[in-house]
């Protein structure tokens, strides 16, 4: 009877466990002995843990355990041994996969334990240490101090300020518009000057730095640049002034008398807009009228009145003059002298001699 009981026990164990890698010896009271085959649960193989800098995520992978029905992953903080369930796994809710991502992990050095489960059996394996470095350098880009906007000349300068020291930041990491422009980066960081040149036409110049262009000592890439003003208007063309218009109360064609004269002009500019118009006069009806021989009459910054300037009487001494206009745009570009407007000043009234009547005056 005892031998039969042992045989039945052995068959039951065989039916429950199947083939395995270890042998167990079963004994019982009686006159005989029997053996039964039982299995073991091997731990997961080669647990790897990697943490790309700046992501806050640890990527885990391991080799499957032959008899495992699931796995539980545990994160261990090396500094104090604190353990935390990882990858959303628990004893009651294991994963059947052989890889997972542990999200939102704080800075620190960790190792991970992967535990294989099969019924009440467990077997664990540990990863090597993995360092988590979440912080990423931020960067602002703005107009450089003292940079004119709008600007009439290049280079146009911007300032990039990183929140911490970075490596390998070069001109190739800067995005500039227009795309035909070139950028030269100077400085030792974390503050850099970005000088934009190669501007061939009027345009808005915008500079930015894309994410992951430069990296800190921990290998984390920067976040995309922000700023309060990373655009400068570049005005490559000077404005154009038409021949000024002269109006006066006492006016007869191009003749003005002893009265105030108002000058106006419909100047135009291709980009930044006309900022002011200045007026000048030169003596004589012909010839050039330039800074070498003109007399300033005044300037106006009011486009609403066609840049009107009123010259009090007398406009000038009696004689013939040429009046020109010179427009300046908001970037500081001064245009060429306009076509001249001829103006003759006559403030002297005519004289009348006493008439002679019958030979008598």
DSSP states of 2-28 as a string?
Answer: HHHHHHHHHHHHHHHH-S-SEEEEE--
pLDDT tens, the chain, 361 aa long: 444 433 333 433 333 333 333 334 444 555 555 555 556 899 999 999 999 999 899 999 999 999 999 999 999 999 999 999 999 999 999 999 999 999 999 999 999 999 999 999 999 999 999 999 999 999 999 999 999 999 999 999 999 999 999 999 999 999 999 999 999 999 999 999 999 999 999 999 999 999 999 999 999 999 999 999 999 999 999 999 999 999 987 666 678 888 899 999 999 998 999 999 999 999 999 999 999 999 999 999 999 999 999 999 889 999 999 999 999 999 999 999 999 999 999 888 777 777 767 666 5
Cα–Cα distance measured from residue 361 to residue 355, given in angstroms and rounded to the nearest whole number = 6
**Cβ contacts of 178 within 8 Å, gap of 6 or more:** 199, 203, 205
Question: Residue 164 and residue 314: Cα distance in Å, rounded?
Answer: 67
Residues 6+ apart with CB under 8 A from 281: 289, 294, 295, 297, 316, 321, 322, 323, 324, 343
Q: What is the dihedral of CA 238, 270, 205, 141, to 10 degrees?
A: 90
Instruction: List CB contacts of 322: < 8 A, sequence separation 6 or more.
Output: 281, 282, 284, 285, 286, 287, 289, 340, 341, 342, 343
3-state secondary structure of 173: helix
pTM of the model: 0.71
């Amino acid at each position: 009877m005892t031998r039969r009981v042992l045989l039945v026990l052995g068959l039951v164990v065989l039916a429950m466990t199947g083939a395995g890698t270890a042998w167990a010896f079963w004994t019982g009271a009686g006159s005989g002995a029997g053996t039964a085959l039982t299995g073991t649960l091997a731990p997961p193989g080669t647990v790897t843990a990697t943490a790309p800098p700046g992501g806050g995520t640890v990527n885990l992978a391991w080799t499957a355990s032959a008899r495992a029905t699931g796995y539980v992953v545990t994160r261990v903080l090396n500094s104090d041994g604190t353990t935390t369930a990882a990858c959303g796994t628990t004893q009651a809710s294991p994963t059947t996969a052989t890889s997972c991502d542990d999200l939102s992990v704080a800075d620190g050095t960790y190792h991970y334990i992967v535990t294989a489960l099969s019924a009440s059996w467990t077997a664990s394996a540990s990863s090597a240490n993995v360092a988590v470095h979440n912080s990423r350098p931020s960067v602002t880009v703005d107009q450089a101090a003292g940079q004119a906007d709008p600007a009439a000349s290049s280079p146009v300068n911007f300032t990039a300020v990183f929140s911490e020291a970075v490596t390998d930041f070069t001109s190739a990491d800067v995005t500039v518009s227009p795309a035909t422009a070139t950028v030269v980066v100077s400085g030792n960081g974390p503050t850099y000057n970005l000088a934009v040149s190669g501007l061939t036409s009027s345009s808005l110049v915008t500079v930015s730095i894309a994410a992951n262009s430069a990296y800190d000592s921990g290998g984390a890439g920067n976040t995309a640049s922000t700023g309060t003003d990373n655009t400068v208007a570049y005005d490559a063309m000077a404005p154009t002034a038409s021949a000024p218009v002269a109006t006066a109360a006492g006016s007869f064609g191009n003749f003005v008398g002893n009265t105030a004269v108002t000058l106006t002009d419909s100047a135009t500019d291709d980009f930044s807009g006309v900022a002011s118009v200045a007026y000048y006069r030169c003596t004589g009806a012909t010839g050039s009228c330039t800074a070498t021989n003109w007399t300033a009459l005044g300037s106006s910054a009011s486009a609403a009145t066609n840049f009107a300037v009123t010259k009090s009487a007398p406009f000038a001494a009696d004689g013939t003059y040429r009046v020109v206009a010179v427009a300046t745009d908001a970037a500081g570009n001064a245009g060429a002298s306009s076509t001249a407007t001829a103006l003759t000043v006559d403030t002297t009234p005519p004289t009348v001699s006493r008439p002679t009547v019958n030979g008598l005056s």
